[in-house]
């Protein structure tokens, strides 16, 4: 089992925010959880931190936290991800399509995957298994 981490799950976990779902929190607190962070989710997190929309003090602090966590693998935003987004019309937001596409690519490679997200559009799509 691998866990794909959405932007809000990442930010809220690092902040200790109470809006983080109990199941997502348990996964993120488990030192044995293999985490996949889509590059687009990392880019969104940087943007959120740069604009002061979080209690994370700086982009450097964000990047240090990610670098220090050996469980995290950053999944690239590459042609395979973009190709996988084609036809994901049930997902309305471009970045969310890319996050779901990352999870779907892992599934297509035989991985069992859960996406840590509270995004209602992603959840309602039924395209990937969601934990929150």
Summarised one tens digit per residue, pLDDT across range 73-110 is: 999 999 999 999 999 999 999 999 999 999 999 999 99
Summarised one tens digit per residue, pLDDT across range 39-70 is: 999 999 999 999 999 999 999 999 999 999 99
Domain count, the chain: 1
Q: Please tell me the pTM assigned to this model.
A: 0.96
In order of 34, 39, 60, 63, 79, the CA distances from 49 in angstroms are: 24, 15, 10, 11, 27
Predicted pLDDT at 85: 97
72 pLDDT tier (thresholds 50, 70, 90): very high
Q: Which long-range contacts (CB under 8 A, 24 or more apart) does 46-53 make?
A: 48/7, 48/11, 49/11
The mean pLDDT value of the chain amounts to 97
Containing structural domain, residue 117: 2-131
Summarised one tens digit per residue, pLDDT across range 115-132 is: 999 999 999 999 999 999
CATH number at residue 28: 3.40.50.1010
């Amino acid at each position: 089992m691998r866990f794909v981490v959405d932007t809000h799950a990442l930010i809220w976990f690092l902040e200790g925010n109470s809006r983080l779902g109990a199941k997502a929190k348990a996964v993120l607190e488990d030192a044995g959880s293999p985490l996949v962070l889509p590059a687009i989710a990392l880019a969104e997190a940087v943007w959120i931190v740069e604009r002061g929309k979080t209690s994370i003090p700086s982009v450097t602090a964000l990047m240090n936290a990610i670098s220090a966590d050996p469980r995290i693998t950053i999944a690239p935003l590459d042609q395979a991800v973009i190709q996988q987004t084609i036809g994901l019309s049930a997902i309305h937001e471009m970045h969310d399509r890319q996050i779901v596409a990352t999870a779907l690519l892992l599934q297509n490679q035989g991985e069992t995957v859960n996406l840590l997200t509270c995004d209602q559009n992603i959840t309602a799509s039924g395209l990937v298994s969601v934990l929150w």
